[in-house]
């Protein structure tokens, strides 16, 4: 037996495969050069194949060599390592995307708009609250005002003011008609009350103490019910990314390119390659590019100081995403759209090449959609800034906790007039109207995930190294981590593209 043959046999066995007698015979007949190539391709193909291949026989090896020959003749000297060798699993399934929320996002632009906007918010969220079984005895603030003192009452209102004073907490709430003040005085109720956000809709379980003052026994969030998630019937996955920041000097192009090579089946062990071949959707939840003039002196930190060129560069990289993968892009606060929510999709005028790519869809931020029957709610997550800095117990290193709070509020940006601008509109489109199966946000640049009731929460990290600003505020970003959600099982696999073997160690 020649040295090459022995060496290649060893490689087959080390990769976990057996060789049939005719397979061995076939290998013995190959010259050293093609032997190595055939074994490489065979191991790779077997690794990512849908069928469980354990034995490599003559027929299999022959088909591998034929494919390799066809490829070299059709592609010439093109970089063949970037091309997937076999048909990926996800290529056998058509994309099933339905956008559940794509009404117009026009602003009404006047004060009436805001009155209507808050009415719409109150109506939608109190409707969600009233569906809970513990809400049968809810009354309006008006009827509470007419009740005798010491009556028990459950009321729903928008929080217009929040005043902590020593160990107590006052909340002013109002509904369509009336207003009342709520006092929380026992420790547990105060603690709960402190995480209530101004302008959010909440239910108070209380006792009437004075004509216009209630003592809170408990606060009830609209929340989401415990329910099993919908599942895809097809074995497909979604890669949930955000904050790529193309154009920034801190953009880690190397890691992002590695991610795309992985999508193409080019890197990773057999399990990771198989996972790549099941990815049908690539979501980018805002901040695809770093933008221009987003913060003072940003120019010093830009590699590409033109927003169109930043999108062009992004298009150039995303063009390498395999054809069967659908790309879904939402805007973030660094993208070339208005800042106030809801943000319209990134327009063709800034991102022509991306718009020309038929696989790419530009959606509104926030957006509710279904991927293979699984309901996904995606939002860039700008309002996390306020929540993580203001709510006791929250911090920027754990954005997932802020996401859970938003889901319990059933709103992606509860507080009006803070650093997250909201566009005046007749309808509040920022209400999370139905409980999603997957809830994704980016923006903070810190990776995290959690199951909350039946929902998978994903906070996507970034593809940008720590910026001087983040350094000043002590924020350590999670760079180059891709969470991959299996839409059939709701399992999440986190791949770390900084690590040689893609394994994330936390």
Which residues would be at the binding site for Fe ion (CB under 5 A)?
243, 287
Instruction: Give yes or no for residue 250 binding Zn ion (CB under 5 A).
Output: no
Q: Is 439 helix (H, G, I), strand (E, B) or coil?
A: strand
Instruction: Show the tokens assigned to 261.
Output: 């090579």
Quick check: 48 and 88 in contact, CB under 8 A? Answer: yes
Helices (H), 269-323: 270-277, 307-318
- Minimum distance from CB of 412 to Fe ion (Å)? 16
Instruction: Give yes or no for residue 45 binding Zn ion (CB under 5 A).
Output: no
C-beta of 44 vs 245, nearer to Fe ion = 245
Quick check: 449 and 465 in contact, CB under 8 A? Answer: no
Sites for Zn ion among residues 121-160 (CB under 5 A): none
Sites for Zn ion among residues 369-398 (CB under 5 A): none
Contact partner at residue 45 from Fe ion, Zn ion, none, CB < 5 to 8 Å by partner kind? none
Quick check: 445 and 478 in contact, CB under 8 A? Answer: yes
Sites for Zn ion among residues 84-123 (CB under 5 A): none
Measured CA to CA, the distance from residue 238 to residue 378 in angstroms comes to 12
- Minimum distance from CB of 245 to Fe ion (Å)? 6
Instruction: Give yes or no for residue 47 binding Zn ion (CB under 5 A).
Output: no
Q: DSSP letter at 303?
A: S
Interacting residues of 293 by C-beta distance below 8 A, sequence separation 6+: none
Which stretch, 120-128, 218-226, 328-336, 371-379, contacts Zn ion (CB under 5 A)?
328-336
The Cα angle at residue 254 between residues 251 and 255, in degrees rounded to 5 = 80
C-beta of 287 vs 386, nearer to Fe ion = 287
Helices (H), 243-285: 253-263, 270-277
- Minimum distance from CB of 256 to Fe ion (Å)? 14
C-beta of 195 vs 470, nearer to Zn ion = 470
Measured CA to CA, the distance from residue 417 to residue 454 in angstroms comes to 32
Contact partner at residue 333 from Zn ion, Fe ion, none, CB < 5 to 8 Å by partner kind? Zn ion
C-beta of 245 vs 258, nearer to Zn ion = 245
C-beta of 232 vs 333, nearer to Zn ion = 333
Which stretch, 58-66, 181-189, 275-283, 331-339, contacts Zn ion (CB under 5 A)?
331-339
> If you search the block for the tokens 């037996």, which residue do you land on?
1
Quick check: 127 and 144 in contact, CB under 8 A? Answer: no
C-beta of 245 vs 410, nearer to Fe ion = 245
Q: Is 410 helix (H, G, I), strand (E, B) or coil?
A: coil
In 73-221 the beta strands, taken as DSSP E runs, fall at: 97-99, 138-139, 152-165, 168-174, 179-184, 201-210, 213-220
Instruction: Give yes or no for residue 343 binding Zn ion (CB under 5 A).
Output: no
Quick check: 452 and 407 in contact, CB under 8 A? Answer: yes
Count interface residues toward Zn ion (CB under 5 A): 4
The only residue of 144, 333, 372, 418 in contact with Zn ion, by rule CB under 5 A: 333
- Minimum distance from CB of 307 to Zn ion (Å)? 15
C-beta of 287 vs 326, nearer to Zn ion = 287
Instruction: Give yes or no for residue 464 binding Zn ion (CB under 5 A).
Output: no
- Minimum distance from CB of 276 to Zn ion (Å)? 27
The Cα angle at residue 358 between residues 82 and 337, in degrees rounded to 5 = 105
Contact partner at residue 96 from Zn ion, Fe ion, none, CB < 5 to 8 Å by partner kind? none
Measured CA to CA, the distance from residue 26 to residue 38 in angstroms comes to 11
- Minimum distance from CB of 98 to Fe ion (Å)? 27
- Minimum distance from CB of 286 to Zn ion (Å)? 6
C-beta of 287 vs 404, nearer to Fe ion = 287
Measured CA to CA, the distance from residue 112 to residue 110 in angstroms comes to 5
Q: DSSP for 137-159?
A: TEE-HHHHHHSPTT-EEEEEEEE
Quick check: 214 and 206 in contact, CB under 8 A? Answer: yes
Instruction: Give yes or no for residue 287 binding Zn ion (CB under 5 A).
Output: yes
- Minimum distance from CB of 491 to Fe ion (Å)? 27
- Minimum distance from CB of 401 to Fe ion (Å)? 19
- Minimum distance from CB of 287 to Fe ion (Å)? 4
Sites for Zn ion among residues 394-453 (CB under 5 A): 443
C-beta of 361 vs 445, nearer to Zn ion = 445
The residue number with the shortest CB distance to Zn ion is 443
C-beta of 275 vs 384, nearer to Zn ion = 384
Measured CA to CA, the distance from residue 389 to residue 420 in angstroms comes to 13
Instruction: Give yes or no for residue 332 binding Zn ion (CB under 5 A).
Output: yes
Quick check: 95 and 281 in contact, CB under 8 A? Answer: yes
Binding site for Zn ion (CB under 5 A): 287, 332-333, 443
């Amino acid at each position: 037996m020649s040295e090459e043959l022995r060496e290649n046999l060893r490689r087959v066995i080390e990769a976990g495969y057996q060789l049939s007698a005719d397979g061995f015979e076939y290998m013995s007949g190959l010259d050293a050069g093609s032997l190595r190539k055939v074994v490489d391709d065979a191991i790779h193909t077997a690794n990512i194949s849908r069928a469980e291949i354990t034995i490599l026989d003559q027929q299999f090896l022959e088909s591998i060599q034929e494919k390799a020959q066809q490829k070299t003749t059709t592609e010439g000297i093109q970089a063949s390592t970037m091309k997937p060798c076999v048909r990926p699993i996800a290529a056998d399934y058509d994309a099933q995307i339905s956008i559940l929320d794509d009404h117009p996002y026009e602003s009404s632009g006047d004060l009436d708009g805001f009155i209507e906007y808050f009415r719409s918010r109150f109506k939608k969220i109190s409707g969600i609250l009233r569906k809970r079984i513990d809400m049968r005895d809810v009354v309006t603030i008006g009827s509470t005002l007419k009740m005798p003192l010491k009556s028990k009452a459950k009321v729903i209102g928008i929080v217009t003011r929040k005043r902590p004073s020593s160990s107590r907490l006052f909340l002013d709430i109002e509904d369509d008609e009336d207003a009342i003040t709520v006092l929380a005085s026992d420790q547990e109720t105060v603690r709960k009350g402190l995480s209530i956000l101004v302008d959010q809709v909440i239910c108070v379980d209380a006792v009437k103490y004075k004509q216009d003052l209630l003592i809170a026994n408990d606060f009830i969030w609209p929340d989401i019910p415990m329910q099993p998630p919908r599942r895809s019937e097809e074995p497909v996955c979604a890669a949930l990314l955000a904050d790529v920041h193309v154009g920034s000097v801190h953009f880690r192009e190397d890691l992002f390119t590695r991610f795309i090579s992985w999508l193409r089946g080019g890197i990773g062990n057999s399990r990771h390659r198989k996972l790549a071949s099941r990815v049908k959707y690539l979501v980018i939840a805002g901040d695809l590019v770093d933008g221009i003039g987003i913060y003072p002196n940003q120019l010093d930190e830009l590699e590409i100081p033109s927003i169109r060129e930043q999108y062009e560069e992004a298009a150039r990289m995303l063009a390498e995403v395999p054809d069967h993968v659908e790309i879904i892009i939402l805007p973030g606060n660094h993208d070339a759209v208005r800042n106030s929510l809801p943000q319209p999709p990134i327009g063709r005028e800034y991102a022509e090449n991306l718009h020309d790519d038929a696989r790419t869809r530009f959606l509104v931020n926030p957006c509710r959609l279904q991927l293979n029957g699984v309901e996904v709610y995606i939002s860039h997550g700008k309002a996390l800034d306020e929540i993580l800095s203001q709510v006791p117990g929250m911090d920027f290193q754990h954005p997932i906790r802020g996401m859970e709070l938003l889901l319990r509020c059933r709103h992606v940006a509860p507080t009006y007039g803070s650093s997250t601008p909201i566009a005046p509109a007749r309808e509040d489109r920022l209400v999370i109207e139905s409980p999603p199966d997957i809830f994704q946000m980016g923006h903070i640049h810190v990776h995290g995930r959690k199951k909350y009731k039946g929902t998978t929460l994903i906070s996507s990290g970034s593809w940008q190294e720590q910026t001087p600003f983040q350094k000043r505020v002590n924020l350590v970003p999670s760079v180059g981590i891709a969470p991959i959600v299996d839409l059939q099982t709701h399992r999440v696999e986190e791949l770390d593209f900084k690590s040689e073997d893609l394994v994330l160690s936390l």
